[in-house]
């Protein structure tokens, strides 16, 4: 049995929050050729600074008009938010190419971006009654970021009684490669047989998290070095301290054509016999958002008397939710609760390895088709972050007939998950109102001993920075609004009292740390500092007098501001809170005042770009090459294995900074943020007209 690679995938965050990562991916078979698309070295849009200098559009008077204006900017091919492949659109992470966050290039994309693309088109369908763009967005997601049949060819060799071989995680890249350990017993996978019998296939229906849209790295289809695009890639693999600046991007389909003699595998795992293989990692918050948006589309189309117009994607979303249950399970299907010691923690059986939360990832992989002895593996995720929880998606998958999964236990599992997620957020709510990090069933990624006195949630241990530490994973305020927006929408939709109680404490804290001025000026929280820990969960919120949060910096992140506005508006619609509505509308007006020719954006200073010179750890004696010939060996740096950045039109700003100049400033048009802005306008139109 071949194992997964040891660490976890990342989420693309505007501030560059960077996880320790895990398994990788390969490219879709028979990807259609680019049609009328600009090649990677010839952007199809004006330079960003020229766009900023352009005359802004005429002011609008209604938020639905503001949505349509923003929608047209995002969908305008000249503005560069998408690349077209045979009539289907793939969103970039950002219009600009020189941007380093969780994706390390602007013309990469993520499952998150696809979920936001769906949201954009669902909002368009509600306002216009035209659902074809939503259906096209789902088709693009299926074509390009959900691995197809030929992309996961050896799943039939998967043995649910032995899901994967254990590999311990380590804090830093210097702890890798990490050896396979057949001496650690793993649990049983209770989902595989049910899913196979339900859907008549051994394939996984879920998104891989990272896609090289323009084939910038040059790995091509299945790592063959061709010009085929998009291409599945991965970056994070080496522990909680591995930031994006310390990663080695590699093809998800490992054919040994790049890297060293064993491709890139022996940077991550130590094995006696490396095999060519495919590997994918799912980011559960993106799949859950896709389900959430499908629920919205179903609701809105139904209100128009046209639910059949979106019936296909809605059924597919129910199926995606069925497979998303892998995110509810411990990484190696070990028993959840007081799980300490890799050899002593009991293997799970049945569903006692489920924590029923949205973990940081699930992953799957296997041998390539031509393997003499085919094999496949699957893992869940042991750590859950508050920002990944989506009780609204859990509600849809357990309570809405059209979204209930077809499997025998899928809807019931999601009903448990909805309750468990709300409890999780109650448990993590600080005395001030902010939501703390999360919990893990595998301390340190190796089932280690947690600090004495660690608070527990159903036997999992409190972790203020679950999954990655450079920077701390719950430092960014954006995770607060992503999570609370879903809670607020659940409250507005269902009246759930638990959701209201959470918001009653969170909303005043968020508003007290937000200011809205005039002329487009606004300040929303950016970074936070945490202290203390919650009380051990007993089923009833305690107020957590020993858990505290402090907002340490503010900024003008338009995506975060839009997410906060939506949260306040949903809360106001459910509760009648006039102050929340007023601040939500104030944020929308401030966003409108920051329009430019291609979207809504503000300038930001990127002092972190000094890390272009960061060394990437490569073990002594290891050497290899990137697809373009960049040398991978001890002493390599982030920029030395990404020499393509030297040809980027924005590189001179970074180069001057590295040579002792001022930190560069950029005005970025991130896809997720631009869609968050658009949908914020649409939410006001939906709730208040």
Instruction: Report DSSP letters for 363-432, one per residue.
Output: EEEEE-TT-SS--EEEE--SEEEGGG--HHHHHHHHH-GGGS-SSSSHHHHHHHHHHHHHHHHHHHB-SS
Asked whether the predicted pLDDT for residue 18 surpasses 60, the reply is no
Same domain, 515 and 640: no
Any domain includes 70: yes
DSSP state of 637: B
Choose between 250 and 10: higher pLDDT: 250
Any domain includes 317: yes
Category of 523 on φ-ψ map: left (φ > 0), alpha (ψ -120 to 50) or beta: beta
Angle, alpha carbons 324-327-330 (nearest 5°): 150
User: Whole domain around residue 646: which residue ranges?
Assistant: 607-665
Interval 461-473: pLDDT, tens = 999 999 999 999 9
Beta bridge mates, 108? 212
Any domain includes 365: no
- pLDDT at residue 358, as a whole number: 98
Query: Using 50, 70 and 90 to split pLDDT, how confident is the model at 16?
Result: very low
User: Exposed/middle/buried for 350, CB within 10 Å: 0-12, 13-18, 19+?
Assistant: exposed
69 is an active site residue: no
- pLDDT at residue 587, as a whole number: 98
Of the candidates 64, 101, 112, 557, the residue annotated as catalytic is 112
- pLDDT at residue 37, as a whole number: 33
Mean pLDDT value of segment 550-572: 98
In terms of residues, how long is the chain?
Answer: 689
Any domain includes 328: yes
Same domain, 517 and 613: no
Same domain, 327 and 193: yes
Same domain, 648 and 680: no
Same domain, 288 and 305: yes
Query: Using 50, 70 and 90 to split pLDDT, how confident is the model at 449?
Result: very high
Asked whether the predicted pLDDT for residue 302 surpasses 70, the reply is yes
- pLDDT at residue 400, as a whole number: 98
Any domain includes 539: yes
- pLDDT at residue 17, as a whole number: 30
Query: Using 50, 70 and 90 to split pLDDT, how confident is the model at 528?
Result: very high
- pLDDT at residue 30, as a whole number: 29
Asked whether the predicted pLDDT for residue 10 surpasses 70, the reply is no
What is the enclosing helix (H) or strand (E) of 282? strand 277-282
- pLDDT at residue 373, as a whole number: 86
Same domain, 569 and 641: no
- pLDDT at residue 370, as a whole number: 75
Any domain includes 42: no
Report the percent of the chain where pLDDT is more than 70.
91
Asked whether the predicted pLDDT for residue 55 surpasses 90, the reply is no
Q: pTM for the complete prediction?
A: 0.92
Any domain includes 420: yes
CATH of the domain at 638: 4.10.870.10
CATH of the domain at 315: 1.50.10.10
Mean pLDDT value of segment 212-218: 97
Report the C-alpha gap between 559 and 109 in whole angstroms. 17
Asked whether the predicted pLDDT for residue 318 surpasses 90, the reply is yes
Any domain includes 174: no
Same domain, 428 and 479: yes
Asked whether the predicted pLDDT for residue 51 surpasses 70, the reply is no
Query: Using 50, 70 and 90 to split pLDDT, how confident is the model at 50?
Result: very low
Same domain, 649 and 581: no
How many distinct structural domains can be found in the chain?
Answer: 2
Of the candidates 285, 485, 585, 650, the residue annotated as catalytic is 285
Interval 140-163: pLDDT, tens = 999 999 999 888 999 999 999 999
Average pLDDT value over all residues in the chain: 91
Same domain, 534 and 474: yes
Question: HSE-up of 668 (CA within 13 Å, CB side)?
Answer: 27
- pLDDT at residue 662, as a whole number: 98
Same domain, 509 and 639: no
285 is an active site residue: yes
Same domain, 295 and 392: yes
Choose between 662 and 226: higher pLDDT: 662
Query: Using 50, 70 and 90 to split pLDDT, how confident is the model at 222?
Result: confident
Interval 349-374: pLDDT, tens = 999 999 999 999 999 999 998 777 89
- pLDDT at residue 371, as a whole number: 75
Same domain, 518 and 629: no
């Amino acid at each position: 049995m071949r194992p997964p690679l040891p660490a976890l995938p990342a989420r693309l965050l505007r501030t560059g929050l960077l996880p320790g990562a895990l398994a990788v991916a390969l490219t879709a078979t028979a990807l259609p050729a680019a049609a009328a698309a600009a090649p990677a070295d010839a952007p199809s849009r004006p330079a960003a600074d020229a766009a900023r200098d352009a005359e802004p559009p005429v002011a609008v008077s209604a938020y639905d008009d503001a949505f349509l204006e923003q929608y047209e900017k995002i969908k305008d091919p000249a503005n560069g938010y998408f690349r077209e492949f045979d009539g289907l659109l793939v969103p970039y992470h950002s219009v600009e190419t020189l941007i380093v966050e969780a994706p390390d290039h602007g013309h990469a994309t993520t499952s998150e971006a696809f979920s936001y693309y769906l949201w954009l088109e669902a909002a368009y369908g509600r306002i216009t009654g035209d659902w074809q763009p939503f259906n096209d967005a789902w088709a693009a997601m299926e074509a390009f970021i959900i691995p197809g049949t030929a992309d996961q060819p050896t799943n039939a060799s998967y043995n649910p009684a032995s899901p994967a071989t254990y590999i311990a995680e380590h804090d830093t890249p210097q702890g890798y490669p990490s050896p396979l350990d057949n001496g650690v017993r793993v649990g049983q996978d209770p989902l595989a047989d049910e899913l196979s019998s339900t859907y008549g296939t051994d394939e996984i229906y879920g998104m891989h998290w990272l896609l090289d849209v323009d084939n910038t790295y040059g790995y091509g289809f299945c790592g063959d070095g061709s010009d085929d695009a998009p291409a599945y890639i991965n970056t994070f693999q080496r522990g909680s301290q591995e930031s994006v600046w310390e990663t080695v991007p590699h093809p998800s389909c490992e054919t040994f054509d790049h890297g060293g003699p064993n491709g890139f595998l022996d940077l991550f795992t130590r094995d006696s016999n490396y095999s060519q293989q495919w590997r994918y990692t799912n980011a559960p918050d993106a799949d859950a958002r896709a389900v959430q948006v499908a629920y919205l589309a179903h609701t809105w189309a139904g209100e128009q008397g046209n639910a059949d117009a979106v019936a296909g994607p809605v059924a597919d979303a129910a199926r995606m939710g069925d497979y998303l249950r892998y995110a509810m399970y411990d990484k190696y299907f070990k028993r959840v609760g007081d799980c300490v010691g890799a050899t002593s923690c009991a293997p799970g059986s049945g569903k006692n390895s489920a924590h029923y939360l949205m973990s940081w990832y699930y992953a799957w992989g296997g041998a390539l088709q031509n393997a003499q002895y085919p094999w496949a593996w699957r893992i869940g995720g042991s750590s859950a972050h508050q920002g990944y929880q989506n009780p609204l998606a859990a509600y849809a998958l357990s309570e809405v007939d059209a979204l209930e999964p077809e499997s025998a236990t899928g809807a019931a599992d999601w009903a448990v998950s909805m309750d468990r997620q709300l409890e999780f957020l109650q448990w993590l709510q600080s005395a001030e109102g902010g939501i703390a990090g999360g919990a893990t069933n595998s301390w340190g990624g190796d089932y280690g001993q947690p600090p004495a006195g660690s608070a527990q949630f159903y036997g999992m241990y409190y972790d203020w920075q679950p999954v990655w530490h450079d920077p701390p994973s719950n430092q960014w305020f954006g995770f607060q609004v992503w999570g609370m927006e879903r809670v607020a929408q659940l409250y507005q939709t269902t009246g759930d009292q638990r959701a209201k109680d959470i918001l009653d404490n969170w909303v005043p804290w968020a508003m007290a740390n937000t200011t809205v001025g005039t002329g487009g000026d606004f300040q929303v929280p950016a970074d936070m500092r945490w202290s203390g820990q919650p009380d051990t969960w007993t089923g009833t919120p305690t107020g957590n007098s020993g858990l505290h949060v402090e907002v340490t910096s503010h900024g003008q992140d338009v995506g975060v501001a839009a997410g906060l506005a939506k949260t306040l508006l949903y809360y106001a619609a459910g509760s009648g809170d006039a102050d929340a509505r007023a601040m939500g509308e104030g944020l929308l007006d401030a966003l409108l005042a920051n329009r430019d020719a291609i979207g809504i954006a503000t300038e930001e200073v990127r002092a972190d770009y000094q890390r272009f010179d960061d060394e990437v750890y490569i073990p002594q004696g290891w050497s290899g090459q990137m697809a373009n010939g960049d040398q991978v060996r001890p002493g390599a740096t982030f920029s030395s294995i990404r020499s393509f950045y030297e040809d980027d039109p924005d590189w001179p700003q970074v180069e001057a900074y590295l040579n002792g100049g001022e930190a560069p400033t950029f005005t970025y048009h991130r896809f997720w943020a631009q869609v968050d802005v658009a949908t914020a306008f649409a939410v006001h139109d939906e709730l208040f007209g």
